[in-house]
Each structure stands twice: as structure tokens, then as C-alpha cells.
Structure 1
Amino acid sequence: MASVQPFEYDTAIKVLADSSNLKAVPSKFNFINEPSALSSDSLPIIDFSALIADDPDRRCGAIRDIGKACQEWGFFILVNHGIPEALMNATFTATKEFFKLPENEKKQYEAKSASDPIKCGNFNVTNTSNQTFTLWRDYLKLYAHPEFHCPLKPPVLRITGYKYGQNGLKIFREVLLEYTERTRGLARKLVEAISDNLELEKNYVDEVLKMDSSFQLFATNLYPPCPQPDQAIGIPPHTDPGLFTFLIHNGVAGLQIEHDGHWFNVDSPQNSILVNAADQLEIFTNGRCKSVKHRAVVNKERERISIVVANGPSKEAIVGPAAPLVEKDGRALYSSMKYIEYVEAQLVKSRVNGKQILEQMMIDQDDEIAN
């Protein structure tokens, strides 16, 4: 069984990568991989403005397209989502300033357990062959809802192109708070669209998944240039816990997704959001929506920054296949589990090359008959 130790804070990868003497990847990062992938222009594009349009035909078309995208790809590109580009840029400015903080200031946010609401550092991963390696990235994670947590520094940012206070000054936490609030609203609309697509009763999802207290996590990842991209990895293949994950990046591609047994490079237009269906959406829809493996690869030339918002049900929600869908299908394809227990289990049991927790949740028909 693989294990993950996500709370060690060592020297930032950025500091190491900026060293002029770094010509090869240090052995602790060694993860031999093939970072090349196929190109694809087939990733579905969803127009969010159609989803909230007064025209019922446009809305129905958008709902149908979201359902199809989640079933066939597990990913889609969201456009016309209503989040100002200036706010997205401000969020990048904020996270860059955090990564520029002195090491001793960032180290105070080194988490001691999976439940710490603010985590900073990098991951050490042990694979199924008992080999341990460190991921080629620095990260900051914080719980954004139902309670918002944020580092105290950097205290003040100078933001251009957005109406933030006097002289363009804004507090770090206020930027992240506004961005997470807006993305949480988008996620709620997407969950409603899936509910409509599956013809579930109004308010059924909100009641079962306790969406008013939905658990939202904000994360930002910094991937410095790597001298040997085939000897290290940013994030190995994995799936996400939750319902929908949102990702934006600084214009440097690096995300790859698995589709029909092949890896594909994924990019998204400026001011769009890359959205993927996550594990609890697959479980709740009894397998209709697909949570697919994806990974982050690194490159030699440019620093990559991604901003990720993971939107889930309530931490206390017990997530299993929706009862009306189980009735239609004749049986549940997945077992049920409290969401926060699933999240914490994935931190310590996820495989490097698979989605072990989700696979464990699947109910084999032969086992069901035997029981």
C-alpha cells in the first residue's frame, strides 16, 4: 500500500531550482516517468452563461452538455463563468507573493496532521514498491469553507487592474476569500445541473450532501523549471476527492489527463476554468459521471503555477449512490462513506499509479451475490 507524507517542510523546491549549480535532479526527487502525451482539441467546452440563461432551450442544452462531458471525459473547459479576469490575475499575484516569503515565515504553516486547516510545504510519496520520493513542487493549501482559514502573510498586496481599496492595495486573505466565494457559487450551479440532468428531485442533492456546509479547499502549486523532467514529477497520477475541482494556471501547461487508455495534454484558454468531476460525483451518480486520473508534469524552461479549488459536499455528509439512481440501476455500484473520512483516507492510502480509495468503494457484483 502506498503512503503519502504531505506535511514535511523542507527547503522550498523553488530555492533549490534557482541554484545555478543545479544540473540534475537530486536523488530524493527521482521518479522516472514519460512526460510526453498526445494532443487533443476534443475536450468539451461548456458555456456557463447558457446554464444560467433565461432561455430554457439554452439552459437545457448546457445541462445536457455538462452531463455528457462528465460521462465521456470527466473534464471540461468552463467559459463565460462570470469571474473577472482581474480577480483571477489578482489571485495569481497573491499566491506568487506567498511563495516569495522567507523560508522561516512559510515554515510556520507546516502542518502537523491531515486536519490542519493551513498546510505548506511539499509531499514525500512512498509507492507500492516501498520507494520514497519527493514531488517537484511547493504548495499552499487552506480550508476555505465552511470556515475560511488563511496565512497572515503577505499582509498587503499591490494589485493592478482591479478595484481593491485605495491605491490598489488589498489584503492577501481578502483576495483568496473573494475568489473562493465566487468559485463556490459556480460549483453549486454545476451540481444543480448534474441533478437536473439525472432528473433528481429539486433540493435532493442539497439535503443529502448538505451543500450549505460544503467543504471547500483552496490550493496553489508552484512547479519550478526542472533540469530533468523525465526524472521527477509535479503530482503523480491521481483522482480528486469531492464533486468538482476547478483549476487555472499561469499560462504554462503541465496538466495531463487519462482518456481511453492514453495520456493527453490539457490546456485551457485564457480566463477559462478547467473543471473535472471528482470521486464523490462518480459515487453519487452511481458511476454515470467519471472521476479520471490526471497528473502534473514539469518542464525545463518555465515556472508553472496552478490554482486549484476543490469543491465537495459537507465534511459530515455520508456519500453513496443517490437512492433514485440505485432504484433505476437495480443496485448500488459503490459503498457509502463519510466525506471527511474519505479525504483523510486518501491522504495516507492513495496509490502513486491508481485510484485505490475509489476502487475500494466499488461493489463487485459477485461479492454482492455472495453476501
Structure 2
Amino acid sequence: MASPLHLDGSDVNNNSSIKDLENIVEDVEIPVIDFSLLTEGTPDQRYLVVQELAKACEDWGFFVLVNHGVPDKLRNALMDTFKGFFNLPPEDKQDSADTHAMNPIRYGTSFNAKVDDNKYWREYLKVMTHPEFHCPTKPPQFREELKEYSACIRELGKKLLGGIWEGLGLDNNYMREALNLGNCFQIVVGNHYAPCPQPEKAMGLPPHSDHGLISILYQNDVDGLEVQHDGKWVRVKPLPNSYLINTGDQMEIVSNGKYKSIVHRAAVNEKRARMSIVTVTGPSLDTTVVAAPQLVSGESPATFRGMKYGEFMEYQQGHGLQEKSVLKLLRL
């Protein structure tokens, strides 16, 4: 694949405070959650996994998910199809070019080309797949693969959220209704980070949190994801056949600040392309998200004011990525 950007002064993010190369930690033991024990384990096994899940969300906001049940054939086929899209002639990709933050299909390079001071070393394709399904017309197999994959990940996400609600002492049925998860918002994002001739001067994506409840990430075997933990940047080396899960801004609001949305970024390298597919699951777009009432008390007052998820997302997507900037606006 050709590089999505030319390496001139305007096309790299050379802010040393963002890159912060001296503050990266490796070989940290990241929490691992066995999804099969959550869904098919004995009551004792499920109880232990729910406790592990709660600890991972509270201490990290991030964990590795294994034994998830998503077929490798499906994941790999969709990854190849995203590659096929990024290999299309520029005029075909421009049919989906970034024009508005809430467009159901968006192709671009920068997070928001209208407001970003720096462009980022990546290509992306964002496709909204629920409650209404959208898909580019090319490659021709895209629609069938994306529809099957997004449905599979949506069910996985709902079951995972059920375990998270349980760990917070919340009733799953109540939370599904309160957040209108039957009409949950889902977006699937394919990312291509081409080899970069000067990776020390570029960034795939700057530090940011995700807008939804949880994000579910699948990537090829090229490292690049870095998460913020205890004031350090941790470089993530995922296990084979696993997903990487992180909590988002709506989870921080719902949990009344107990579970923080994790700040993360994407680094690039000069040798190999990195590909990832991330699926973000959130409440319905018209749901006003507030802290679960069971988590609010005189000792633990509400941390954030309520805001419709669609408005929250539109504000975040319409501005440059700045860590957890929208949450800061909502803090009481």
C-alpha cells in the first residue's frame, strides 16, 4: 500500500510532548479475561471472572479478551477486505471522503481535517453499522462480511457489558433499558498505518479516549497501540487470537467515575504496516447518559452532568482529539 501522507512539515505530528518516547514501558502484565468462563462457566467460575473484570476496568480501563468465540475466518476475511478498500484507486475512496463528523461512512486521514493542526500517519474508514447498517459498495464482498462481523461483535459486546454491570452491582436488564441497548450505536473503524520513514516525528493517532461504552479492537501482528497507565505509556503486545478491550467516556459517566475511560494512542514504525479494526459500542444516540442512580449518594455525588450520547459524539468527532476534553466539559 502507498503511504497515505507525504512526509513534509504539515503531514507529521512532531509534538514531543505527545510522542514522549522516553516514557514507554513494555512487559507489563495486562489483565486477561476469559470470555468463555463469563458466558459458559460454572457459577463459581463466572463469579471469579466478574470480579476480575471489575478489577481490570477499575485499575486499567483496559484488558485482553481471550476465548471470545469470534471465528478467525470471519475476522481475517474482514481484515483482508479493509485492506482491499485501502488499496482502491484514490477516486474510489474519495466517494467516502470525510465531509461531516456524523456521516455514516467516512474515509480520511486526519481525525478531522477541518480542525486538526497536524495530520496523522494513517488512513481510516469509519462505518456505522447499528441501529442502521451502512457499508461502502467496494470491494463487492464488503457488505456481507461487515454485516456478519458487526452482528457477532455486537452480541459479544452486550454480554461483556452484562458482566461489567454485574461487577458494578447493577442489574443487566435495567441497564439495557436505561441505555436503550436494543438500539445501541455501533461503529466499525478500519485503520491502516503505513510504514513511516521518520516514525520519531509522526503519530498514527494522538492521545485520546473513545466516546462509547466499550471499544473492541482486533489488529494484525504489528505492535503500535500504547495505553496510559499509572502515569506511563504501556506498549501493548496482544496475545494471539485475542481482542483488546477498553472502556470509553460513556462508561466513565455511567459508573460515576469508578471506571475511567482509558487514554491511548497509536504509534507507527518504519518497516511494516499496521492494520486494526475497532468496534465502538455505545448507548442509543438519543439516550441522555447519566450516572447509574445506584452509584450516586451523598458520599458519592454525581460526577458528570447528563448529555445525549449523539450530541457528545458529534462534539468529540467535530473537534480535534485532545485526550478526554469532552468529559472535562461535563464534569460537575
Task: Identify whether the pair has TM-score above 0.5, normalized to the shorter chain.
Answer: yes
Deviation at 1:202, TM superposition (A): 4.2
> Is 1:263 paired with 2:250?
no
Tell me which structure has the larger Cα radius of gyration.
Answer: 1
Residues 1:285 and 2:270 are matched in the alignment: no
CA distance in 2, matches of 1:66, 1:220: 27
Whether 1:27 and 2:15 are equivalent positions in the alignment is: no
Q: Find the partner of 1:177 among 126, 147, 155.
A: 147
Determine if contact 1:220/1:308 at 8 Å carries over to the other structure.
yes
1: CA distance between counterparts of 2:299 and 2:154? Answer: 31
One-letter amino acid of the structure 2 residue matched with residue 137 of structure 1: R
Instruction: Pick one of 123, 136, 143 that aligns with 2:121.
Output: 136
2:113 & 2:102 partners in 1: Cα distance? 21
TM-score (norm 1): 0.84
1:177-211, Cα deviation, whole Å (9 max, x unpaired): 11111111111011111111122234110111000
- Per-residue deviation at 1:314? 0.6
1:105-162 deviation digits (Å, cap 9, x = unpaired): 11011132122100011116699xx98211110110000101110000111xxxxxxx
SS in 1 for 2:155: helix
RMSD: 1.9
- Rate the CA distance shift 1:126–1:174 in 2: closer, same or farther, 3 A: closer
1:60 to 47, 70, 73: 47
Which letter does structure 1 place at the counterpart of 2:105?
A: I
Looking at structure 2, the residues matched to 327 and 53 of structure 1 have their Cα atoms a distance apart, in angstroms, of 35
Q: Distance in 2 between matches of 1:135 and 1:198?
A: 37
Q: Which residue number in structure 1 is paired with residue 88 of structure 2?
A: 101
SS at match of 1:291: coil
The reply on whether 1:147 has 2:117 as its aligned counterpart is no
- TM-score between the two structures when normalised by the length of structure 2: 0.94
Partner of 1:359: 328
Secondary structure (helix, strand or coil) at the match of 1:14 reads coil
Cα distance in 2, alignment partners of residues 30 and 122 from structure 1: 12
Q: Provide the secondary structure at the position in 1 that maps to 2:46.
A: helix
CA gap of 1:260–1:202, structure 2 versus 1, over 3 A, is: closer
Find the counterpart in structure 1 of residue 269 from structure 2: 299
The alpha-carbon distance between structure 1 residues 176 and 131, as it changes in their structure 2 partners (threshold 3 A), is closer
Q: What CA distance in whole angstroms lies between the structure 1 residues aligned with 2:273 and 2:136?
A: 23
How far apart, CA to CA, are the structure 2 residues paired with 1:270 and 1:189?
22
Counterpart of 1:177 in 2: which secondary structure?
Answer: helix
| Count of aligned pairs | 327
Runs of 4+ with deviation above 2 angstroms: 12-17, 33-36, 124-127, 327-330, 348-352
Task: Give me the whole-angstrom Cα distance separating, in 2, the residues matched to 1:306 and 1:335.
Answer: 33
Checking the alignment, whether the CA contact within 8 Å between 2:112 and 2:319 is kept in structure 1 is no
| Contact 1:29 1:231 survives alignment (8 Å) | no
Identity %, equivalent residues: 41
